[in-house]
Structure formats: structure tokens, C-alpha cells
Structure 1
């Protein structure tokens, strides 16, 4: 499935299907295509929206979690979306989703977090991008997955081209440091909506103990683990991820109002 990119008021995004809205947020080295299997599975029944986050070209002074959250708010205003949404976030996208939900509780119906930052993350395996070092980038991209063969040459080349730009590297470092500074441990009690946590048992960037801590701090949250899976379950184990997501959406669907006779 080739995702069709739309443009409006300077925003680039995917908008597929009709119905209840699923808002998908990608991670630091992510892209719209990371959610391709989710779009394919759910666009027949839901309206699936994915903004392209301006990680590599946003003003350096705004390159951080709060700046990305403001961008999501501005994007939703630009496309005229005011209804409550289900927000899904992977890695940094999960962090942004949490901050958005805490600031806009009335506009979030449910949360789905997978490999989310916000408590702890090791986004570059303990070090920041090394400009011009292809082998380093290849190793770090492979670090995202349980099966390193998923780190295709195309994906490695994409990340290498990003890290080979001084301007883009500065933004990546600024955003990664912002994510580390903005620990949400004391704030997660404010999340009151149904929340699903889907984690890879082999995630080395936000390891399983991080998932258990999210589960402890977000009251009533559901935690599901996928074996033989790293930091991006919706890419590495799409069938199982989508099954958990569909079950969760059905179980927490708004109930029709009962009209008295």
C-alpha cells in the first residue's frame, strides 16, 4: 500500500478512510511508512491520520517534545479536527502523545503507546549520531529491531542521509535531549483515558521494565508484550499488533446513548 501524502497550510500528512479518528505519531527516526500496516488494516473502518512531524527542519529553538506537541495541536487546528481522537504513538511519538493528552484531556478518547519514551529511552544505544559513519548508523538502525534484517539498506540509507547533515543532527540531538529531560513519571497519574501498551519483549531502547512502569503509573492501562520483537512492534509484528489494537478499540468503543421510552 502506497501512502498518499496530502498538503495543507504547510503540513504534510496521511488521511485515509472515514469514521472515528486514529491519530498516529511516529518516532525520532520514524516516517509515515512506519504505520503502513496499521493504515491498511484500519482505514476501511476508521479515519487514520498521520502528520509528518518536522523533526529535521523545525526551528532549533523549538526542537523538543513541547515544540512537537504544539505542532500536533496546530496541525489538528489546520485540518479542522475538533472531535476526540484515539492517539497512537511509537517511541518519541508516544511521548508527544502523552504530553498532548495531559494538556488536552477532553480531546483524547484513548491512548495506545508502543515503545514510548517519557520515562526512559536509549535512543542511540548510548551515543548520539556520528556524522558520516555509515557502519555506526547501520548498527544503530539494526538496534531498533529484534530481527536486524529489517534494517534494510533503504532504511539505513535514509537515516544515514539525515545524520550526514549538521543541521538535521543538531535537531535530532536537541529533541533526544529534550525527551530525556521531560520525564513524565510524576504526571502519568493525570492520564484518565483507556490506555493500551504494546511492547516488544526484546526492546533494548525502551526495555520491558519501562513498559511495566508505564502500566503501574497509568491507572487501568493494559499491557501486552510481543516476543521476538524490538522497539517498533507495528512494523516488526504487524499482525499481532493490529489484533491487540482492534480488540482494544472494540472493547473501549463508545456506547450508544440509551433513550428512555
Structure 2
């Protein structure tokens, strides 16, 4: 495929999360920057506006996968193929579980505002990667990426995630070639979630990446790029 590939980054991530894929894949790659957008639907509208062609391939990682599903809700006719990497589809849980998530995210925001984005990352990002990646150059590159952002962006994206819709009802209606991928050791969006998504999307492919946590595109970049190349080549 030589067309457009929109690569959507996740919470507090920038183009660095897709750097290997941009270099490796045979497509015109575009990585949006979310800025201060505070809803998934606004991010999806940005994707539709920034896409340089009417139809495009669409891949989203983590929160970016939720944005990709919102694009599918708004304009499925524009998406030629879809890849969902390390994502969930569930809304904020009701009751105590939802309040616990909200409180946890607000605590992280307070940390970011009081001590800075790198201090946030040193605590928060430790759950993002396979344990073997902790305190490695890769982990430092994730902290560098977080440090390029700011607490206002974090607040906006937290707001988007706390108000996320239930995306599961969209899955059975997806008809384009679809790849569902996650790290086999992803503690945040684990394999069973992806196996359920794969089962709900007719004709989809499932890829579980060994020795890999939530940051699959950076932790195992060659394997993820190969899976995406195969997905782009599917008829």
C-alpha cells in the first residue's frame, strides 16, 4: 500500500511512539498532535481534517485506538483498513471502580503540576513497559517524550478518557481489514481484551507480541512494524 496511513498516538505520547513504523512502512504516514483537545470526538474530527486523502488506513495505539474507533463511528466510509494496538473499549466503570480511576488520574495530574512531567513519568510509566525495560534507554526515551508535554495537555487528555464512550458496540459493524495487536505482557490493556475484540470483528487478525508491555510500538518496534506491513498488504 502506498496511500495514507494515519498513526494515532496514545495518552501523552507524540510522534516518537510511531518513529520506527514511520520509517519502515510503505505509506504516507501522518501522526496527529492532540494539543489541548479534551474529547475523543474532537480528536477524531482532527484526524478527519488532517488526513491528506479522502480515504486512508488508520492505526491507533492506546488512547489513539479509542480515537480510531471514534473515527469509525463518525466516518467509516473514509477508513480503508483499521489497526487497534494495546487498547480497551470499555467506558468508565460505574460506582466505586469509576471513582477509583478518576481519583487515580487526578492524583497523577497533581503530581505533574507539582513536580513536573518527568516526575510523573518516573512513577506512572513504570507500568507501561515489560519489567525488563525498566530503567533502560527505552524507558528514558519514554520519560523524554512525557517531558515534551505539559500538565495542561495531561488534564485535557484525562478529561477525554474519563468521558470515553463504550466503543464495544461498534466492533461488530467494522467491515474493513482489521488488525488487533497487543503486547503479551501488557498489564494495562491485556490480551483477553484484544481476544474479545478480535472475536467481535469479523475477519480480523490478532497479533500478540512476545516479551512486550503496553508500549508495543517502541518495545518491539520491528515485530509491530512487520505486523502492520502485513496488514497494509492484505486485500
Distance 2:149 2:232 in 1: 35
| Runs of 4+ deviating beyond 6 Å | none
Q: What is the 5 A alignment of 1:6-25?
A: 19-25=2-8
| Aligned CA-pair RMSD | 2.4
Tell me if structure 1 keeps the 8 A contact 2:12–2:146: yes
| Relative contact order, higher structure (CA 8 A, sep 6+) | 2
User: Which of 151, 155, 164 is residue 139 of structure 2 equivalent to?
Assistant: 151
In the other structure, the counterpart of 1:86 is 57
Change in Cα spacing, 1:169 to 1:195, as seen in structure 2 (3 Å) is closer
Q: How many Å apart are 1:160 and its aligned residue?
A: 5.2
Distance 1:211 1:237 in 2: 18
Instruction: Identify, as 1 or 2, the structure richer in helix.
Output: 2
In the other structure, the counterpart of 2:168 is 185
Distance 1:85 1:28 in 2: 22
Q: What is the 5 A alignment of 1:1-261?
A: 19-42=2-25, 45-54=26-35, 57-58=36-37, 63-76=38-51, 79=52, 81-82=53-54, 84-119=55-90, 126=101, 127-128=104-105, 129=108, 130-131=111-112, 132-133=114-115, 135-146=119-130, 147-148=133-134, 149=136, 150-152=138-140, 155-156=142-143, 158-159=145-146, 162=149, 165=151, 167-179=152-164, 182-250=165-233, 252-253=234-235
> What's the secondary structure of 2:163's corresponding residue?
helix
Name which one, 1 or 2, has greater alpha-carbon Rg. 1
Distance 1:235 1:46 in 2: 19
Q: How many Å apart are 1:156 and its aligned residue?
A: 2.2
Using structure 2 for the length normalisation, give the TM-score.
0.82
Change in Cα spacing, 1:102 to 1:117, as seen in structure 2 (3 Å) is same
Change in Cα spacing, 1:21 to 1:140, as seen in structure 2 (3 Å) is same
Tell me if structure 2 keeps the 8 A contact 1:119–1:210: no
Using structure 1 for the length normalisation, give the TM-score.
0.75
Change in Cα spacing, 1:206 to 1:137, as seen in structure 2 (3 Å) is same
Distance 1:33 1:66 in 2: 23
